[in-house]
Amino acid sequence: MKITWQSLIPKCFIPNKVIPKQTSVSRISISDFGYSLVLPEELSDSLAGSNLYVFTLAELKVITNGFSSSNFLGQGGFGPVHKGFIDDRFRPGLKAQTVAVKVLNLNGLQGHREWLTEVIFLGQLRHEHMVKLIGYCCEGENRLLVYEHMPRGSLENQLFRKYSVPIPWSTRIQIALGAAKGLAFLHQAKKPVIYRDFKASNILLDSDYTAKLSDFGLARQGPEGDATHVTTRVMGTHGYAAPDYMCTGHLTAASDVYSYGVLLLELLTGRRAMERSRPSREQRLVDWARSSLKEPRKLWRIMDPKLEGQYSETAALKTAALAYQCLDQRPKSRPTMSTVIQTLEPLA
């Protein structure tokens, strides 16, 4: 095999065609990408104007102290996450801050396409209720992402961790409202985005419990024009995925709304969407709790005992009714995320 100088340069497995440098008007779609080889510089060019920093692997090793165990934050389907610190020593004008560095596990559940999806969406979409992507590394087979650090970690850890301080009712509504605003922003974008993996572990919390959506590896461009849905391979998380999507592979914004309804149930009951350790009738939260959402006498029985009754009964009833609507078996009968926000704002 003939070796050329080009073959010695690290490459990324991305577009079938080299995407031209973008302007502030146009936006790259993940559907534009296939699996040919292009240089990392060309990915950087295609994201011009996104304000993302391109880091080297050596820099990220310095930032995380060699990905030391003392800086380990957690492990997800993408791979391990480590805490680090960056400042303008690495890039001129870079704000000094603590960051989270996510490392793609080459043998894990997610791969290059999920990494690329994350870079594309978070590189171009910015919102106060979406975690901020600061930069990335694409060097050889290494794929890393650098985010703002969220001190309180995931909602999953805060809500379900044993011996943790219970999240007060008002804070739960605040979190639900923030997450709803993040989803609404995606659904109402000029090129709508369907999140597809909305769940408690993908909602990160800052020091003030501000909720931000993270992990966009499974996100997809929504239907455009006269299309009513996009058809995809069924992906997501057991207990959260909408039954209509599971059966048909037809993905719509209503699929996210169903998952949001499951999250409201978790906030109301303090139970996980799926718990294999419980009796068979109680393992799937929706099956166990949905029938109690519209009846006040039944609702009090399923409310999270950690709340110790410290919540507004009226607000709990309205939140339960909203969850019931989001969990409707008929996708067209579910509310939009804008309607969800209008319902929750008076309760916050």
Positions annotated as catalytic residues are: 197
CB atoms within 10 A of CB 44: 17
Hey, which residues does 268 pair with through a beta bridge?
none
